[in-house]
Amino acid sequence: MVHTIIAILKLSKCDAHNNKMDTYDHQYPRWLAAMVMSGVLFFLPFFVDATETIRMRTVRQIVVYGSPNRGTPPVARINYGAVLEVEKITQYRGCKKGWGRLQNGGYLCLSGLRETALEPAVAPSDNPDIDAGIDRYIVGKGGANSFPNRQRFGQRQPGKFLYKGTVLAVKDVIVRGGTRYLITRDGQYIQGDNVEKMSPVVSLGHEVVRGKPFILGYVINDNAVSHNAPDEAAGMVQTWRQFDPVMGTTLLTESFGWVSLPDGSHMRDDDVGRVRLPSISFTPEPNEKWIAVDLAEQIVTAYEGTSLVYIALASTGKKGNTEPGNYRVKWKRRLQTMNMYGGHLRVDDVQWVMYYIPKRGFALHSAWHRNFGHPVSHGCVNLPSDDARWLYEWTTPTSWPFESEDFDTETEKGTRVIVF
């Protein structure tokens, strides 16, 4: 018996008007129909049931709840411009336009949506390929003037002055009066005198297949050399390039500053980031997902139970401010521009953000540099974009494609993150 009181009352009113009370006999007990007719059930708890499925477009950011009740904690948010398949339900409490149910079981108030004939689609800002056709530039010494829009640019009225280290998502480059200007994805104009194009690494990660060789570590410096003995004076075996993987089936070991490689050669420990088993204070459930961040080796590993499933090279805080501890993913965001110093230092369009200390801004997320394997961040765990996406889609809270943000809840805890 899952029909809402509203649905039953509608049926009761119609059937009573037509003197068809006994049509309830096959579906509802006569006592229930009588109570509905008399209004006794009006004060009983609401049930929810879908009445129809419609296609709707978000006209502002929408909060998703685990039940049709604004008093419950949010489970997700959906940005402006998403087109969703929504089941309208017969529940209006706390929302004048009624509630809708999504295909994943979440509930949203329909006041922030409008019916549409458009095909289902994610919000424009949540397009996973939002970087297509975009180049990354970094502001260098001397900084750069920015203009918030085309009109302000035409009037030569600058906005924020951007500090060294600002990373821009650039869709076009123009020249005006002999000066180069960059146009960002969101329509800002940036003076380009002190700005340099970046060549980011987008993928270094490796999915582990049981019984097959996997990445034991990464060479983190260009022109690193392996020797036939743990001695700089020993014969050279091979010259390695930055980010070359070291493959094998047994974890690498280190002794007196040298790492023994699978082929019997040796490499300076400073030249290789190697996979190590973390020391943990909990016993994972057989299929429990958890992540380990190795600060010494700059390696991120993902596990299911005790099985290693993914390996990626990372970059943590350059000032040693990525703090060790046992955390959980609390908040996930598909896209975010990260600002510091009042917006004078920023990183545009950071994707696949997984906050494990939200109040202090510590997260795993994508980054666009070539320094993986070395600490370079302001405290977050930087990952190549494809590797951050893999972890984002793998971790809990579960992220449906149409959800812009997701939150840790009592019913679905975020994936554990061990920083050691």
Of the two residues 28 and 170, the one the predictor is more confident about is 170
In whole angstroms, what is the distance from residue 150 CA to residue 129 CA? 25
Mean pLDDT, to the nearest integer, of 132-148? Answer: 97
Phi, psi of 79 (to 5 degrees): -75, 170
What's the pLDDT score for residue 90?
A: 82
What confidence category does residue 357 fall into, taking pLDDT thresholds of 50, 70 and 90? Answer: very high
What's the pLDDT score for residue 93?
A: 87
Same domain membership, residue 143 and residue 28? no
Q: Which amino acid is at 191?
A: Q
Domain harbouring 73, CATH code = 2.30.30
Q: What is the domain count for the chain?
A: 4
Specify if 73 maps to a domain: yes
CB 93 within 8 A of CB 65: no
Q: Radius of gyration (Cα) for the chain, nearest Å?
A: 28
Same domain membership, residue 349 and residue 235? yes
What's the pLDDT score for residue 3?
A: 39
What's the pLDDT score for residue 166?
A: 98
Same domain membership, residue 205 and residue 193? no
Closest CA to 312 of 419, 388, 223, 412: 388
Same domain membership, residue 155 and residue 58? no
Question: Among 17-26, 74-83, 190-199, which is the least confidently predicted range?
Answer: 17-26
How high does pLDDT run on average in the chain?
A: 90
Domain boundary among the residues 121, 154, 183 is at 121
pLDDT > 90 fraction of the chain, expressed in percent and rounded: 86
Closest CA to 185 of 350, 406, 339, 343: 350
Q: Which amino acid is at 48?
A: V
Cβ-based neighbours of 413, under 8 Å, separated by 6 or more: 328, 396, 397
In whole angstroms, what is the distance from residue 231 CA to residue 74 CA? 58
What's the pLDDT score for residue 49?
A: 59
Same domain membership, residue 161 and residue 280? no
Specify if 130 maps to a domain: no
Specify if 293 maps to a domain: yes
Digit-coded pLDDT (tens) for 247-306 = 999 999 999 999 999 999 999 999 999 999 999 999 999 999 999 999 999 999 999 999
Same domain membership, residue 323 and residue 226? yes
For residue 208, pLDDT over 70 is answered with yes
Structure tokens at 237: 């075996």
Same domain membership, residue 335 and residue 405? yes
Specify if 414 maps to a domain: yes
Residue for token pair 């040796």 = 266
Which structural domain range is residue 152 located in?
135-197
Spell out the SS3 assignment of the chain: CCCCHHHHHHHHHHHHHCCCHHHHCCCCCHHHHHHHHHCHHHHCCCCCCEEEEEEEEECCCEEEECCCCCCCCEEEEECCCCEEEEEEECCCCCCCCCEEECCCCCEEEHHHEEECCCCCECCHHHCCCCCCCCEEEEECCCCEEEECCHHHHHCCCCCCEECCCCEEEEEEEEEECCEEEEEECCCCEEECCCEEECCCCCCCCEECCCCCCEEEEEECCCCEEEECCCCCCCCEEEEECCCCEEEECCCCEEECCEEECCCCCEEEHHHEEECCCCCCCCCCCCCCEEEEEECCCCEEEEEECCEEEEEEECECECCCCCCCEEEECCEEEEEEEEEEHHHCEEEEEEEEEEEEEHHHCEEEEECCCCCCCCCCECCCEEECHHHHHHHHHHCCCCCCCCCCEEECCCCCCCCEEEEC
For residue 375, pLDDT over 50 is answered with yes
Same domain membership, residue 289 and residue 247? yes
Same domain membership, residue 310 and residue 191? no
pTM of this structure: 0.87
What's the pLDDT score for residue 35?
A: 37
Digit-coded pLDDT (tens) for 309-324 = 999 999 999 999 999 9
End-to-end CA distance of the chain: 52
What confidence category does residue 171 fall into, taking pLDDT thresholds of 50, 70 and 90? Answer: very high
What's the pLDDT score for residue 24?
A: 31
Residues 40, 41, 42, 43: is their CA dihedral positive or negative? positive
Cβ-based neighbours of 204, under 8 Å, separated by 6 or more: 218, 243, 312, 313, 372, 384, 387
Mean pLDDT, to the nearest integer, of 54-69? Answer: 97
CB 372 within 8 A of CB 220: yes
Same domain membership, residue 108 and residue 141? no
In whole angstroms, what is the distance from residue 10 CA to residue 138 CA? 62
Structure tokens at 6: 């509203």
Burial of 80 (0-12, 13-18, 19+ CB in 10 A): middle
pLDDT > 70 fraction of the chain, expressed in percent and rounded: 88
CB 363 within 8 A of CB 353: yes
Q: How far are the Cα atoms of 58, 226, 263, 272 from residue 231, in angstroms, in the given order?
A: 64, 10, 16, 16
Residue for token pair 């411009």 = 81
What are the residues facing 88 on neighbouring strands? 52, 100
Of the two residues 48 and 139, the one the predictor is more confident about is 139
Phi, psi of 117 (to 5 degrees): -100, 0
Specify if 126 maps to a domain: no
